Chains A and B, each alone.
Chain A
Amino acid sequence: MTTIEIAGIKRRKFKDTMFKYIVYGLTFTCLAVVLIILFYIFQKGIPCLNWSLFSQMPKPVGESGGGVLNAMVGSLMVVSIAALIAIPLGIAVGIFLAEKRGKPAADRVSIAVDVLQGVPSIVVGMVVYVWVVKPLGIFSALSGSIALAIMMLPPVIKNTEETLVLIPNTLKEAALALGASDLKSTMKILLPTGIGGIFSGCMLGIARVAGEVAPLLFTAFGNPYLSFNILKPVNSLPMVIFNYGSSPYEDWHRIAWGGSVILVGFVIILNVIVKFFESRWKVQF
């Protein structure tokens, strides 16, 4: 009797250990893939970084040097305007979902947000092309921003909702019991309490769309010159990487690698900022 039990325990312990190592192994595999990608990009890209990359415009084929100034300005414009559109809208929808959780209306909106998250970015670009670019008659930074704003909405909405739902209901009740209106208790109590989570949702949304090229093909289109006009086509970093990376010229490849490093660096910095503020703004209940 005793011997049988001991044998069983050995087997169970063995299985346990195996399971542990499998989980570790798979985790490190994923991590290794990320690290290899980053290493490769930095290895190829960092030698291509120089001041002219940031300060100069692209040069015609055959001339060496040149930079991605117009693409950086374009990307910054398109992504900033997208954020200005998507963040207030997304937070509003997130508040709605958190407040009405469990009601039929909220369920439908929630499914719609999930579907939106799954819509391929190229399709979003197409739709914005038909809705914005065609009526205006011109490719523009604004239409690119609208396409990216649509892409940004789901993460902003979901993060806002999840954050607000986690805030204890007693906090809102405390505000209401003091005679506060729904609006005040949401704006002055719930949103400040959830600011960390909401902020990180917004930043991750920005990080998500910063590297998108598909929705911009039909909308912001690209522009070899520097433009600050939101109603004119602008260039963007992902598009530079796509166009220059697939070109046959060695010089252009260098610019594409440089652009990749800038883009990846931007996303890494965003993530670091998120982690920093998440811990600083963490609220204890």
Chain B
Amino acid sequence: MEGTILRTENLCASFGTNQILKNINIDIPEKKVTAFMGPSGCGKTTFLRCINRMHELNPEATVQGKIRLHYEDVYQMDAMTLRRKVGMVFQRPNPFPTMSIYENVIAGFTLNGLKLKKAEKDAIVEDALRKVALWDEVKDKLNNRATSLSGGQQQRLCLARTVAMKPEVILLDEPTSALDPLSTAKIEDLLYELKGNYTLVIVTHNMQQAARISDMTAFFYLGELLEFDDTKKVFTNPKNEKTQNYITGRFG
């Protein structure tokens, strides 16, 4: 498909004997927001964690099938290189607690042993914090501990930390589920703005959120991809009965 950045071919993932994902085939478009939706335990987070190979950190985890990033098999790539191209924001804000706000934004570089001049670092930090609309709030206290920020600010900081690495794809695993409605709205606005430059893949429990911010929506059910289409189509005219039941609130 034209404009596809991520493609999976018969992707299956398991923990031990427990198969989580069954034959997932999906083409994720570049520079769009793709939402993964579905009831708890349907495998959407596992799928997300397969994409940047965080899934394999669990010793029980196994994967079959292929995931391609620009036609390149991610399982043939070096995991560390892959994760620099495919960033991730987690469910709960997890800034590095021993580091300052500044150090957190630049952490991707320091952790990868990339040496930068002070001016370069300053530019990266400011740019990343501006992109997540946090600059004005923290520019006078960049040396404060990151944990001194509020939950919503921390999550935007985590987004900045990921954006600073200039990844091609950003994976977001229910990034607003631990936040209040105002912070959630801020993050959603940001994602909307970021999609011009990045491909965003977001797992969400919140259907309104999927409807609000995504271009494409995938519906997962019991480890299978039941439906994947334009968000508008999925919400107004779903092909699958299960999808319809889910979005109309009959289960899940």
Residues of A within 8 A of B (CB): 103, 168, 170-171, 173-181, 184-185, 188-189, 192-193, 195, 283-285
Contact = CB atoms under 8 A, between A and B. Distances in A.
**Which secondary structure dominates where chain A touches chain B?**
helix
Contact of B111 (A170, A173, A184, A193): A184
B158 interface: yes
Given A179-B80, A184-B112, A193 B97 contact: yes
Q: Which of A179, A184, A185, A193 has the most CB of B within 10 A?
A: A179
B57 A178 contact: no
Contacts of B107: 175, 178
B90 A174 contact: yes
A170 B112 contact: no
Contacts of A170: 90, 92, 94
B147 to A, nearest CB: 5
B162 interface: yes
A189 B96 contact: yes
Contacts of A284: 97, 145, 147
22 contacts: A103-B59, A170-B90, A171-B97, A173-B94, A174-B95, A174-B96, A176-B54, A176-B57, A177-B54, A178-B83, A178-B84, A178-B111, A178-B162, A179-B112, A180-B111, A180-B112, A184-B113, A188-B110, A193-B96, A195-B98, A283-B97, A285-B97
- The bracket for how many chain B residues form the interface is 20 to 34
B226 to A, nearest CB: 28
Interface of B: 52, 54, 57, 59, 80-84, 87-88, 90, 92, 94-98, 107-108, 110-113, 145, 147, 158, 161-162, 165
A179 B112 CA distance: 7
A179 B83 contact: yes
B111 A185 contact: yes
B111 A179 contact: yes
Contact of A179 (B95, B147, B165): B165
Given A185-B111, A193-B97, A284-B97, A177 B88 contact: yes
Contacts of A195: 98
Contact of A175 (B52, B82, B84, B111): B111
B32 to A, nearest CB: 21
A32 B131 CA distance: 61
A178 B165 contact: yes
Nearest to B171: A177
B112 A178 contact: yes
Nearest to A174: B94
A195 B97 CA distance: 12
Contacts of B88: 177
A50 B97 CA distance: 47
